[in-house]
Copies of this chain bind each other. A is one copy, B any other.
Amino acid sequence: MNHVTMRDVAREAGVSVNTVSRALAGKPDVSPQTRAKVLEVAERLGYRPNKLARGLRSNKTFTLGVIVTDIANPFFAELVKGVEETARKNGYSILLEDTSEDPKKEEKAIQVMLAERVDGLLVTPVQSTRRALEEVLKSGFPFVLMGRYFPDLDAPYVVTDDVQGAIIAVEHLINLGHRKIAHVAGPLHISSAQDRLSGYIKALERHGITVREEYILKEAVTLEDGYRAGKELLQLRPLPSAVFAYSDFVAVGIMQAILEEGFRIPADISLVGYDDILFSAYTKVPLTTIRIPKRTLGSEAVRMLLKSLARKKSLSAKAKRLGVDLVVRDSTGRKGVR
């Protein structure tokens, strides 16, 4: 397994290594014949430039580090798909790390990526600590946060408007006549969970509905968390007539719990999720949810990062907030209509 190098091509073509380099790079000062010859030989020998050598020399690796919290989560999988496509289209490769929401792994991942000399970093931060990212920021290394951000950190990010999304979701319920609306929130150190909670509260207040502490359940991420929260929810009195969940994942768990206890959706309880993952249309009761442009989130993050790479060092802390849509399916209905 020996790779063909420029030297091999040079020898075979009877020119210097340098000439091969310029010919392959499309530099102007190479005679057409020489260029043709070089290209022919390179092709014939199956020459592939060594990205390591190139990166070492030029300080550009054309690879981006992507750090996500859980690639098995369909939400992040879609996001990564968007990242991969766009990066590839621009000639960049991607190095992937999965932190499993573990801040230690995140820190480690960042170190590894830096050691790999990626040109920039795209990260979905765990957010239970921010030290590692603050250091990266301070060092001036280019990176963009995806899907989550630190409100008080001057770092570039691409997210969706989760406050607005939550408002849309909750107002949809309010418009259907619901007033006893519960919220199963996510882990509040995560910005999206925080924002969705704010949106929920804002929407209620906007419509003169009192926010009840006991209607807000917390820290649900997995489907199982949702299931447990769903069971809890059903103990509440007065029983909520609608629930807004942090994510579709959580919503499906809640749905499971509700149906299991013999309640009907939406006849007894309406349910709204968030994300619109692949399967939300096919759950027991097709889920009304907030659609967020997952791939676009990824591709926009790449675009922002590449832009900051282009105009060198200066990565002024840009931020982009993408819009979201309400997708009405069967899990929500008018209050009291059975």
Binding site for B on A (CB under 8 A): 1, 3, 48-53, 55-56, 61, 63, 66, 70-74, 77-78, 80-81, 84-85, 88, 93-98, 111-112, 114-117, 139-142, 223, 252, 255-256, 278-279, 282-284, 313
Contact = CB atoms under 8 A, between A and B. Distances in A.
A230 to B, nearest CB: 13
Of A61, A63, A278, chain B has the most CB atoms within 10 Å of the CB of A278
5 contacts: A51-B115, A51-B116, A52-B53, A66-B96, A71-B71
A219 B114 CA distance: 44
B94 A96 contact: yes
Given A72-B74, A81-B98, 14 more contacts: A1-B139, A3-B114, A48-B115, A52-B55, A52-B61, A52-B116, A66-B96, A71-B80, A73-B77, A84-B97, A85-B98, A94-B95, A252-B282, A279-B283
Given A56-B50, A72-B78, A78-B72, A98 B84 contact: yes
Nearest to A141: B1
B63 A95 contact: yes
A141 B46 CA distance: 14
A55 B56 CA distance: 10
Nearest to A117: B52
A254 to B, nearest CB: 11
Contacts of A88: 97-98
Contact of A52 (B52, B72, B252, B256): B52
Nearest to A47: B115
A145 to B, nearest CB: 18
A175 to B, nearest CB: 27
Nearest to A85: B98
Given A98-B85, A111-B48, A117 B74 contact: no
A63 B283 contact: no
Given A50-B115, A282-B256, A93 B93 contact: no
Contact of A115 (B49, B72, B252): B49
A74 B141 contact: no
Given A98-B85, A252-B282, A52 B48 contact: no
A74 B71 contact: no
Contacts of A66: 96
Nearest to A84: B98
A84 B71 contact: yes
A243 to B, nearest CB: 16
